[in-house]
A and B are shown apart, each in its own frame.
Chain A
Amino acid sequence: MENREPAEFAAAAWIARREREDWNESDSEKLSAWIAASTDNRVAWLRLNSSWQQTTRLKTLGAQVPRGTVPTPEQTSVPFFNSSEEGNPGASTAVKAGLPESTRKRPAWFDVRVRVAAAVLVCSTITLAWYLIPRGPSYETAVGVLQAVPLADGSRVTLNTNTHINVHLTTNEREVNLTQGEAYFEVAKDSTRPFVVMAGDKRVVAVGTQFSVRRDGEDVRVFVTEGKVEVEGVAATGSNTVQHATQLDAGSIAHASADGLVVQKKPLAEVEQFLSWRSGYLAFDRTPLAAAAAEFNRYSKRQIVIEDPAVAAILVGGNFRATNVEAFVRLIESDFPIAATVEPDRIILTGVPAPAPQLQK
């Protein structure tokens, strides 16, 4: 009663303060102390923070407007009935819901086809959700977004672009299901509960260590920077029989594909280079342009396209901001005999015949 409003105001103030540039460890401690001071505070914090966290989803919409601008509410309304959009412009305003009069004005609601479509959509959404409901919290990042997530056991996960994980912590196991993308794990030591990352039919098991798992369909790569992990293949048919287990220690890069498992031992610095995405950068060292372009394409809707094999084979090096594909292309253009054609959803790189000096291979 008298406690709610002050607690909610204070919780909102903490949320706003946490968005400051200079937020630090000691601020975090003060926040924890405030939350622990009363259940009123704790309730207000959990409720407001959970809503605030949901706004990260808006990043999906951010890609549709120019950087640094705020779209109008109309621009961000998400159409709900895809099927009826074209023939019925009114349907897209349905989403702006919350406005009761728009519901009444819409004759299309009573169109049989729309109602059937709605019923089908509702049923399929519920069925799909039933199967997809994870047993624990799940986290996802949009294309070009990087996010660190603390887990309840003290471990920390950094999600790379376009990544989705489900987390399931029990008394005897900690399981993270990497359904898509790439994530770096800093595992809190707990010898009683192994930390398992599932990536398709591969299990990556760690006790207390730091490693990254990247999944491209059924291809799984594991990069180990500290401690030991084990990669196991799981028989896809029926029982969860473990087929084989391979131990990896720090400096290992394992690549599991349909053809089997290949393990390379590298200097730690080289492994770290594969993980530079954690700071938002991509590092290349005599990397074929085709491979570099494929990396950039993970972070952006605007895809680099290279058709000329001679261009694809050019070797590039350097550090680039993962989300700034334009800057990368400008550099390539100025340093190599390459022309870029920029289109809304792609950038085409083609070789230009060099006049006097020979094209470098």
Chain B
Amino acid sequence: MSETVDDWFVREVLPHEAALLRYLARVWPNAADIQDIRHDAYVRILEGADRLRPTAPKSLLFSIARNLMIDRARRHRIVPIDLWEDLDSLNVLVDEVTPERRTSIRQQLMKVTAAVNQLPDKCREVLWLRRVESLSQKEIAAQLGISEGTVEKHMMRAARLLSDLLTERDLPVVRAEPQTGTAEDHDHGK
């Protein structure tokens, strides 16, 4: 109860990002909007939680996302007809504890490693030297032969890309299943 709303958000909402993006990608025709819809859904759920913390955050997150898509569809008036059907049948998952949260420390390490390994080379080097080797920006600049300003730019880029890379990938658990992943089954409902 006394946990802050921010901590609650990190623990209860952010882990559903991969599932949310899959849902948005399946329903919304324009891929360019998806991150914006995701962001707006987070803004709404966080503002709501400031007043009253929801008991079923995942379901709420998905219905907020759905409402946001309906708003957008109305505003743009350029949406294919079948979208309305997809939006009406919001029968996604209602299991609140998804596999996303049931990961071991080892799996989390693998996930982070794989995400970091997909960063552009310089971003990855800078992140490693700072976060693992704890070198200062000055030392990193000297070692890589670039300016401190550039080091900070790479760090900034790494910070921005990391969230996306972390959610882009599915969990190893899902890939371990031969063809159809368990998480997929849950998320696609039906």
Contacts and interface: CB of A to CB of B under 8 A. Distances in A.
Given A12-B159, A17-B152, A60 B109 contact: yes
A73 interface: yes
Nearest to A68: B133
A43 B127 CA distance: 22
Interface stretch (B5-13, B58-66, B79-87): B5-13
B29 to A, nearest CB: 16
B3 interface: yes
Given A77-B113, A80-B172, A125-B173, A16 B159 contact: yes
A129 B160 CA distance: 30
Given A47-B14, A54-B166, A95-B114, A126 B102 contact: yes
Contact of A78 (B36, B109, B128, B130): B109
Given A39-B46, A96-B114, A129-B103, A16 B152 contact: yes
B2 A16 contact: no
A287 B40 CA distance: 60
Nearest to B144: A70
Interface string B154-178: 0111011011001011101101111
A227 interface: no
A20 interface: yes
B107 to A, nearest CB: 7
Contact of B156 (A13, A43, A68, A193): A13
A interface, how many residues as a size bin? 35 or more
Contacts of A7: 39
B112 interface: yes
A48 B160 contact: yes
A327 interface: no
Interface stretch (A130-138, A195-203, A216-224): A130-138
Contacts of B163: 47-48, 50-51
Contacts of A171: 1-2
A170 interface: yes
A15 interface: yes
A21 B132 contact: no
Contact of B175 (A16, A20, A42, A103): A103
Contact of A48 (B3, B4, B159, B178): B159
A137 B124 contact: no
A43 B43 CA distance: 6
Contacts of A109: 178
B132 A61 contact: yes
Nearest to A55: B131
A8 B40 CA distance: 13
B156 A15 contact: yes
Contacts of A52: 159, 162
Contacts of A152: 2-4, 7
A169 B102 CA distance: 21
B109 A70 contact: no
B interface, how many residues as a size bin? 35 or more
B129 interface: yes
A46 to B, nearest CB: 6
Interface in B112-146: 112-118, 124-125, 127-133, 135-138, 143
Contacts, number: 185
A342 B152 CA distance: 39
Given A68-B133, A68-B135, A95 B2 contact: no
A156 to B, nearest CB: 15
A181 B157 CA distance: 35
B156 A1 contact: no
Contacts of A236: none
B106 interface: yes
Query: Which of B9, B102, B106, B113 is packed against the most chain A CB atoms within 10 Å?
Result: B113
Given A21-B136, A43-B42, A78 B116 contact: no
Contact of B104 (A96, A98, A129): A129
B179 to A, nearest CB: 10
Nearest to B17: A47
A12 B162 CA distance: 10
A59 interface: yes
A170 B2 contact: yes
Contacts of B91: none
Nearest to B41: A43
A56 interface: yes
Contacts of B78: none
Given A15-B155, A55-B131, A57-B108, A97 B172 contact: yes
Given A42-B46, A97-B172, 5 more contacts: A8-B160, A58-B113, A60-B109, A67-B133, A137-B11
Interface of A: 1, 3-4, 7-9, 11-13, 15-17, 19-21, 39-40, 42-44, 46-48, 50-52, 54-62, 67-68, 70-71, 73, 76-78, 80, 94-98, 103, 109-110, 115, 118, 121-122, 125-126, 128-130, 133, 136-137, 140, 152-153, 169-171, 193
Q: Can you list the 8 inter-chain pairs with the closest CB atoms, starting with the nearest?
A: A73-B117, A4-B39, A16-B155, A12-B160, A62-B132, A16-B156, A12-B159, A15-B159
